[in-house]
């Protein structure tokens, strides 16, 4: 298929639709007028949404569901498209379809128009461009470099286990592709986080080229400006995004994998529908926005997202990546809700890999003529054919027995090796955290020896500080959610050490005090954690292990045994995080706050 582009342009005024179709090299292009009832078309779209919601959880009837949806798509086609435009769409060999529509028509599911038993979004790589009468802020388009900075916000509320896994899997895939130099001259720097406040996110979001959000979306049809993302502590709204226009370049691409995140339908006559979340990002300078028109399920939206990034990172244009991902997950109905706003032809990772194709050729065994001897056909002695048969089966039996013994021996050796390997990992993690504990104990002792320095702890709740041997993105994401669960009990306060590790914070504090004259130090006590939890996330080829070492900060003794937690690949990370949190809470519950309520020197 050639990579041509066809444009479908539609505007509506007083229930009269003016719709045209053309290709990029057309000097004169055709448009037609058609009288429509917007309310009737909106009702048909709502019927499609209601049907999708009613049948989403019936995968056994996926063929029937798809057939019914195509019927509704044909009805939508007849409501909107004149005959000549239908014929033009049938006959074109274009790969890309760009929809240019005004904001009154943005809620219509153009992608699900069905012609010749195919949805438009199934046949074409589609992108939308929206016309509006609203003032458009003057913004600069983001200049992309060879290093793409990607922010992943995964399950900030902590109640969508698959969304959390989605973020981690996408982060890993991007890191692997980048580290293995599979992106040509491109490189990806990822950051996965779930603990943003709206203010923190507004301050940081413009530092990134791409943003992926997987979590709960908020949609307010009466006041679309209130629509947005549900964050860990509050929510980010479309109005927040709109107000950021012009302060700095917005991310080039935003994938909002949340319910109704591309829905700009406005039921109020007092506000402009372009204040919805998707249009807020586009108006503020984003190149592309990918979101949904209705509610989606956690499981299947995750599958779509992972498939999308696999395609996007493999040199597909963004529109083609969406099209292929729809087809891949099409047995489930959630594929139908996604909408791409922006030029579908744009390629974010333009590289190519040389594939070595080896032609399969038939291997013809040379013909060998059996030796023929002159003389009698009779042979006195062994029956040669029987000897060959016995030898064949004997060799086969020996091979089978050898293989069985080899498998048994290999399995035994693997079990022994695995047991030794696990013990080596445990010893290594214990040694690493003990070393870190010794460093921090030494720093606290040195700090306590400085004149004018003292430590106190709060009298009401237990303060906990997590110390990482190696702060990486997955470590922060997992510990962040465990910290949230501890915090919600209202018994524990999680101390933060900003972007620095605790040992660096203490060193800086010591240096500052030593450089300050004694008479100017005052006698301000410093807050010290009650409990320090030393954490380490270990990865190898086929396992992921989280190691925790809870320490009584004052006594410098262990509160409980080391917690050595291997993650089961067959279970969700969220489920295992909850079990780990419960176990940690149980161990911490043995500690009485009164043990920490004395001033420490």
SS3 state of residue 75: helix
Q: How many domains does the chain have?
A: 3
Segment 279-293 shows an average pLDDT of 92
Convert the pLDDT of each residue in 12-21 to its tens digit.
888 889 999 9
When the pLDDT of each residue in the chain is averaged and rounded to a whole number, the result is 80
Task: Return the higher-pLDDT residue of 213 and 507.
Answer: 213
502 with 583, same domain? yes
pLDDT of 357 > 50? The answer is no
* Non-local CB neighbours of 154 within 8 Å, separated by 6+ positions: 163, 164, 166, 167, 168, 192, 194, 212, 214, 215, 477
Report pLDDT for 367. Answer: 36
Report pLDDT for 473. Answer: 66
60-69, 73-82, 177-186, 428-437: segment of lowest average pLDDT? 60-69
Cα distance between residue 297 and residue 589, in whole Å: 37
Cα distance between residue 99 and residue 128, in whole Å: 5
Report pLDDT for 128. Answer: 95
Segment 384-409 shows an average pLDDT of 77
Task: Return the higher-pLDDT residue of 54 and 118.
Answer: 118
549 with 439, same domain? yes
172 with 31, same domain? no
Task: Return the higher-pLDDT residue of 505 and 321.
Answer: 321
CATH code (residue 511): 3.40.50.10070
Convert the pLDDT of each residue in 160-203 to its tens digit.
888 889 999 999 999 999 998 888 889 999 999 888 899 999 99
Report pLDDT for 58. Answer: 60
Residue showing tokens 């594939």: 355
Cα distance between residue 519 and residue 459, in whole Å: 29
Burial of 439 (0-12, 13-18, 19+ CB in 10 A): middle
Report pLDDT for 290. Answer: 96
Do the domain assignments include residue 580? yes
Burial of 66 (0-12, 13-18, 19+ CB in 10 A): middle
Confidence category of residue 497, pLDDT binned at 50, 70, 90: low
432 with 559, same domain? yes
CATH code (residue 326): 3.40.50.1460
Q: Which of 325, 341, 357 is the last residue of a domain?
A: 341
Do the domain assignments include residue 368? no
Report pLDDT for 356. Answer: 35
- 9 phi and psi angles, rounded to 5 deg: -115, 135
pLDDT of 100 > 60? The answer is yes
Report pLDDT for 496. Answer: 65
> Could you give the angle at the alpha carbon of 202 between the alpha carbons of 197 and 203, nearest 5°?
100
CATH code (residue 84): 3.30.420
Segment 563-587 shows an average pLDDT of 74
Cα distance between residue 323 and residue 307, in whole Å: 11
423 with 336, same domain? no
39-53, 124-138, 417-431, 512-526: segment of lowest average pLDDT? 512-526
Distances (CA, A) of 36 to 40, 82, 120: 8, 11, 21
Under 8 Å between Cβ of 248 and 203: no
- The domain of 582 spans 417-596
């Amino acid at each position: 298929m050639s990579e041509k582009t066809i444009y479908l342009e539609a505007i509506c005024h007083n229930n009269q639709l003016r719709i045209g179709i053309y290709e990029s090299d057309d000097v004169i292009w055709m448009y037609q007028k058609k009288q429509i009832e917007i309310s009737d078309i909106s009702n048909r779209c709502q019927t499609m949404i209601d049907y999708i919601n009613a049948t989403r959880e019936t995968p056994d009837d996926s063929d029937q569901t798809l057939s019914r949806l195509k019927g509704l798509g044909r009805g939508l086609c007849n409501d909107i498209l004149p005959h000549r435009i239908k014929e033009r769409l049938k006959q074109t060999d274009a790969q890309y379809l760009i929809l240019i529509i005004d904001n009154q028509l943005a809620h219509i599911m153009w992608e699900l128009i069905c012609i010749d038993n195919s949805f438009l979004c199934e046949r074409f790589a589609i992108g939308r461009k929206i016309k509006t009468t609203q003032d458009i802020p003057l913004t600069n388009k983001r200049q992309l470099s060879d290093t793409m900075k990607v922010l992943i916000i995964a399950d900030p509320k902590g109640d969508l286990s698959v969304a959390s896994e989605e973020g981690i899997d996408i982060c890993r895939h991007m890191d692997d592709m980048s580290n293995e130099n599979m992106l040509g001259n491109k490189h990806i720097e990822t950051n996965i986080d779930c603990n943003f406040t709206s203010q923190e996110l507004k301050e940081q979001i413009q530092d990134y080229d791409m943003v992926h959000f997987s979590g709960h979306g908020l949609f307010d049809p009466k006041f679309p400006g209130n629509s947005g993302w549900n964050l860990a502590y509050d929510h980010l709204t479309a109005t927040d995004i709109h107000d950021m226009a012009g302060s700095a370049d917005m991310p080039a691409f935003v994938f909002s994998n949340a319910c109704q995140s591309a829905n700009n339908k406005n039921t109020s006559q007092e506000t402009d529908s372009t204040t919805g979340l998707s249009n807020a990002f586009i108006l503020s300078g984003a190149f592309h926005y990918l979101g949904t028109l209705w509610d989606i399920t956690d499981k299947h939206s995750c599958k779509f997202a992972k498939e999308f990034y696999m395609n996007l990172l493999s040199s597909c244009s963004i529109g083609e990546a969406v099209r292929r991902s729809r087809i891949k997950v099409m047995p489930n109905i959630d594929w139908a809700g996604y909408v791409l706003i922006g030029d579908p032809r744009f390629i974010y990772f333009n590289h190519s890999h040389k594939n070595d194709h080896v032609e399969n050729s038939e291997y013809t065994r040379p013909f060998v003529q059996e030796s023929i001897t002159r003389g009698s056909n009779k042979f006195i002695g062994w029956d040669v054919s029987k000897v060959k048969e016995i030898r064949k089966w004997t060799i086969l039996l020996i091979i089978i027995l050898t293989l069985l013994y080899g498998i048994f021996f290999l399995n035994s050796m693997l079990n022994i090796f695995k047991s030794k390997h696990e013990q080596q990992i445990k010893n290594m993690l214990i040694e690493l955290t003990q070393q870190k504990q010794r460093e921090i104990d030494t720093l606290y002792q040195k700090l306590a020896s400085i004149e004018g320095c003292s430590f106190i702890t709060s009298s009401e709740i237990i303060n906990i500080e997590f110390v990482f041997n190696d702060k990486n993105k997955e470590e922060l994401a997992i510990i962040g959610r465990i910290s949230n669960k501890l915090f919600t009990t209202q018994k524990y306060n999680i101390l933060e050490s900003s972007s620095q590790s605790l040992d660096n914070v203490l060193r800086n504090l010591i240096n500052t005090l030593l450089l300050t004259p004694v008479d100017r130090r005052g006698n301000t006590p410093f807050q010290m954690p009650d409990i320090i939890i030393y954490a380490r996330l270990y990865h190898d080829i086929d396992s992921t292990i989280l190691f925790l070492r809870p320490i009584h900060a004052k006594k410098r003794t262990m509160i409980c045994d080391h917690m050595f937690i291997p993650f089961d690949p067959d279970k969700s990370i969220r489920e295992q995080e909850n079990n780990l949190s419960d176990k940690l809470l149980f161990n911490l519950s043995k500690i009485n706050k009164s043990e920490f309520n004395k001033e420490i020197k």
